[in-house]
Amino acid sequence: MSTQAGHLGQQGQPSSLEKPISPQLLGEVRDFWFSHLESEDAAILPGFNEMKCWFMGGEELDTLCRQPVLEAIKSSNATPEAIISDASPSDPGDWLALVLLLDQFPRNCYRGPSASLVFLIFDPLAQAVARKAIDLGIPISRDIRYHLSRRMWFYLPLMHSEDLTLHDHAVAEYERMGRDFKTLMTSSPVNDAAEERCRQVQATDKEATEKILASNLDFEIKHREIIVRFGRYPHRNGPLGREMTADEQKYLDEGGETFSASASKS
């Protein structure tokens, strides 16, 4: 990712949620997050190295994701409705940027004891915004639907929830995404040039497409299984100050899933 993004939206440090989420900021968030994708084909079907930049970005990514607007949101007690009103997303790209800002950026900013801010403040906002976007059909809009590097982000806030209902929703959405991609891959050439390019990219590397779709669904299922068993994520107990049950401690001691070296990432 380009280090130029280190100055995203830093024209000033807003002290309250009074239009800090500008169209310019949403554009900068989007440009930064996808800056390492070198082609449209990579946006359609990102490879391991592209995915690695998002999920194993290290301290450089953490630094670049630290934005004054997150502090403004944290101190504002803003509702999801206020966030959406403030951001006024005007197209699918704006909705995508808003989900990234609320779900992914905090995970790279607040770690260790500060991870509680992710779980208590930003996750509920991200989940509400993602659900609204899904209700509006944003993830299946023309510029998102067949671009895996864009669509998948709308479902991660549901995966991060400790609400089983949202996990059921996430499973349904991942399965729907899989059906959409597989239908396109096996279809005849289509008239829409952009959609046809998506079909060609996916069909050319069908194995990679199916693998990444399966990986997304499997990852959600692993998260859901923990919620079914414990009703929460045991690895979050420390940052949230929750008492660990004996069963949870045994699970973690025996190598149970934490999904990351840092408890702030999932």
Q: What is the pLDDT of residues 166-209, one digit of tens each?
A: 999 999 999 999 999 999 999 999 999 999 999 999 999 999 99
| Homologous superfamily assigned to 3-253 | Tetratricopeptide repeat domain (1.25.40.10)
Residue 88: how many CB atoms within 10 A of its CB?
A: 13
Q: Is the pLDDT of residue 11 over 50?
A: no
Summarised one tens digit per residue, pLDDT across range 75-117 is 888 899 999 999 999 999 999 999 999 999 999 888 888 999 9
Q: Would you state the pLDDT for residue 129?
A: 98
Q: How far is CA 25 from the centre of its chain?
A: 17
Domain map (residue ranges) of the chain: 3-253
pLDDT confidence bin for 134, thresholds 50/70/90: very high
Question: Which of 17-26, 127-136, 196-205 has the weakest average pLDDT?
Answer: 17-26
> How far is Cα 86 from Cα 84, in angstroms, rounded to an integer?
5
Nearest to 79 by CA among 17, 137, 134: 17
Q: Would you state the pLDDT for residue 9?
A: 46
pLDDT confidence bin for 215, thresholds 50/70/90: very high
Residue 89: how many CB atoms within 10 A of its CB?
A: 22
Count the helix, strand and coil residues of the chain and give each as a percent rounded to the nearest 5.
70, 0, 30
Q: Would you state the pLDDT for residue 264?
A: 43
> How far is Cα 96 from Cα 151, in angstroms, rounded to an integer?
8
Residues 6+ apart with CB under 8 A from 83: 17, 21, 73, 98, 102, 125, 129
- Buried/exposed code over 40-70 (b: 16+ C-beta within 10 A; e: otherwise): ebbbbbbeeebeebbeebeeebbebbbbbbb
**Total-model pTM:** 0.89
Which residue is it, tokens 């079914």?
228
pLDDT confidence bin for 5, thresholds 50/70/90: very low
Q: How far is CA 251 from the centre of its chain?
A: 26
Summarised one tens digit per residue, pLDDT across range 40-75 is 999 999 998 899 888 866 666 666 666 678 888 988
> How far is Cα 242 from Cα 258, in angstroms, rounded to an integer?
16
- Give the rounded percent of residues in the chain with a pLDDT score beyond 70: 86
Which residue is it, tokens 């998102």?
144
Q: Would you state the pLDDT for residue 77?
A: 86
Q: Would you state the pLDDT for residue 111?
A: 84
